[in-house]
Structure formats: structure tokens, C-alpha cells
Chain A
Amino acid sequence: MADPMKIRATVKDGVADVRVLIAHEMESGQRRDPAGKLIPAWHITEVTATLNGQPVMKAYWGPAISKNPLLQFKVKGAKPGDKIVISWVDNKGDKRSDETTIA
């Protein structure tokens, strides 16, 4: 199974700065193995973020996002103690969800 995400969320002037580091191979589908066969693409297709259960961000990713993706976004009207949940799904159907409280 996938490794946990590292999520950091800090509030400044009512705006939460959320940074997410996801552990994922993000294989592009363009590379070849030593036998010359294409390595099939394996990447995250969807990332969703919720603030206290309300969806605030939804990302659709292709294979061009870097390995171990870093995602940063800002959410208005957040305060310390609010709960941020990040979930992702990859093209093999693997998924993971992690949460953090805003500091």
C-alpha cells in the first residue's frame, strides 16, 4: 500500500496554506525497461481536499506530474483546529486518504 502523505496546513490572516507531499511513483508511461518494453503509466488521477467535510479543491492529474508530487494551495476562511482531509486515487485503483488539523 501507499505510504502516508505529509500534509502541512498553516493559517495566516484567515487563509490556510496547505502543502501536501504524496509518496507515489508517478510513472509516465514514456519510459522503457532494459528489454525495450514500455513501462506502463502509473500515476495519480484525482486528488480531492476537504475542509471540515466541505470539498475545497479537486485536482485531475496526468502522468506529467513529478514523482512524489508536491501540491500547494490556499483555502479562505479556515481557522486553527479545522480539519483538512486529502485523498487521492491512481489509475490502478489504489487510493489513500490522510488528514491533518490546521495549525
Chain B
Amino acid sequence: MNPTRRQTLQAAGGTGLMAALAAFGLSVPVTARAQGVAGAFQAKSVSDALKGLGAAAPAESKDVVINSPDIAENGAVVPVAIKSNIPKTESIMLLVDKNPQPLAGAYDVLAGMEPEVSSRIKMGQSSDVIALVKADGKYYMAKKEIKITLGGCGG
């Protein structure tokens, strides 16, 4: 905890930031599909994200199941599993209503994969979690509220 070390680290952090920005400007080669999704990731609200995904008005469906705890202690690791019972499920998307960028992840269900996926997400505060499923060209969704005792987005 001596000041010299701290200053050094801060200076190093600043350099890292510039390097990262430069790297981002040069950009990573991405597929067309990824570019479409990338726009949705930048969206600041659920409705914008849905628009970005091309799913303006998804129908609520009981065949989309969100499996997660009702109360998560740590917002930095919230286990969420989504299962679709709709035939011809093409992709599964996960959105968190009150996150700064609602879209958390999108999964393409390709040949041979069961429409069921689970991962761990960050949540800034208690919020609705929305599972969006694209099946046979149509969009379906399910919603579930998860309460957070400790936020996972701030510092």
C-alpha cells in the first residue's frame, strides 16, 4: 500500500485504456449475424434491444421456462437457465431489464442442440429477467423477477 506502487498502477492502467481503445478502433473481424447482435448489445433499453434483434413485440409464452433463483445473493454471479419447449427453436436470448445494457447473451440453437442453455450473468439490481426465444421465425418471451442483495455492475 505505498503510494509509489499505487501511482505506478494507475499510470499503467491509463496506458492500458489507450491501448484497448486503439485495439477496439481497429476492430475484430465479425460475421454479419454478429454485427446485427452487436448493435442490440449496445441498446440501453429493453425495447431498443428488442428492436435491434428484430423482435419488436414478442408474445408471452408458457413454453419458455426461466430457471433461476428468486433471490440471488450476489449480483455478479446469477445463475440463469433458459429452456424452450417450442418446436423449431432457432435462438435463445437473455435480457435483464434494469442493466445498463439489457441484452446479456444470445445463443443460436444449431442442428443437434437441445433448446436449453444456462450460464451465469451479472445484474446491477433487482430486476425482471426476460428470456426471448425465436422459433420458426416468431418471437416468444417469458419474464421472471430476480431480487439481488448485492449489485454486480458498479465498483
* Interface, chain A (partner B; CB < 8 A): 15, 26, 28, 30-35, 37, 39-40, 42, 45-46, 51, 54-67, 69-78, 89, 91-93
Bound-state Cα–Cα, A34 to B13, Å: 10
A64 engages B101 (CB within 8 Å): yes
Q: Tell me if B14 counts as interface (CB < 8 A to partner A).
A: yes
Q: A54-B111, A58-B108, A66-B121 are in contact. Are A93 and B116 (CB under 8 A)?
A: no
Residues of B73-129 contacting chain A, CB below 8 A: 76-79, 81, 96, 99-101, 103-114, 116-124
Q: Which of A57, A62, A71 has the most CB of B within 10 A?
A: A62
Q: Which residues of B contact A26 (CB under 8 A)?
A: 122
Q: Report yes or no: B154 in contact with A31, Cβ–Cβ below 8 A.
A: yes
* A–B complex contacts, Cβ < 8 Å, 24 sampled: A15-B114, A30-B100, A35-B14, A40-B21, A40-B24, A45-B30, A46-B30, A54-B112, A56-B110, A56-B111, A56-B112, A60-B37, A60-B105, A62-B104, A64-B101, A64-B103, A64-B122, A66-B76, A66-B122, A67-B76, A67-B77, A71-B118, A73-B118, A93-B28
Contact residue range for chain B?
A: 35 or more
Q: Which of B141-155 contact A (CB under 8 A)?
A: 152-155
A56–B116 Cα distance when bound, in Å, is 12
**B105 & A65 in contact (Cβ 8 Å cutoff):** yes
Residue of A15, A45, A72 touching B118 (CB-CB under 8 A): A72
CB-nearest residue of chain B to A70: B120
Minimal beta-carbon separation of A12 from chain B (angstroms)? 12
B140 touches A (CB below 8 Å): no
- A28-B122, A30-B154, A71-B119 are known contacts. Are A66 and B77 too (CB-CB below 8 A)? yes
Q: Are B101 and A62 in contact (CB under 8 A)?
A: yes
A77 & B112 in contact (Cβ 8 Å cutoff): yes
Bound-state CA distance A34–B120 (Å) is 27
A33 touching B119, Cβ below 8 Å: no
Given the complex of chains A and B, what is the CA–CA distance between A60 and B117 in angstroms?
13
Give the CA-CA distance A46 to B155 in the complex, in Å.
25
Contact A71 B153 (CB under 8 A): no
Q: Select B113's contact among A39, A56, A71, A91, beta carbons within 8 Å.
A: A56
Pairwise interchain contact A40-B116, C-beta atoms closer than 8 A: no
Contact A35 B122 (CB under 8 A): no
